[in-house]
Amino acid sequence: MDGVPGDDITHLLAINDGRLYEWIEAREKSGGPRNLTLALRSFLSHDDEGEDAPAHVQFISLNHRSLVGGENSSR
């Protein structure tokens, strides 16, 4: 919640925005804002003025993917 994990681990989280907001609110209600919850809120709000995500956190939003293929010039 507050920094780089001590172990060489990877976590995968597949969740929709609403459920992620619920998770963030529950964590902050029980322990206050933490580095991870602040980074998640910044990403979800698309706050261009917010700090960049910590180097050990990567966000992948499936809402921002392309639903069509690229141009194929070999045809």
Q: What is the pLDDT along the chain (75 residues), one digit of tens a residue?
A: 777 777 877 676 666 788 888 989 999 999 999 888 888 888 788 754 445 667 777 777 676 666 666 666 665
Give me the pLDDT at residue 49, please.
Answer: 46
Confidence (pTM): 0.61
Summarised one tens digit per residue, pLDDT across range 23-38 is 899 999 999 998 888 8
Q: Can you tell me whether residue 73 is helix, strand or coil?
A: coil
Mean pLDDT over the full length of the chain: 75
CA dist 72 and 46 (Å) reads 32
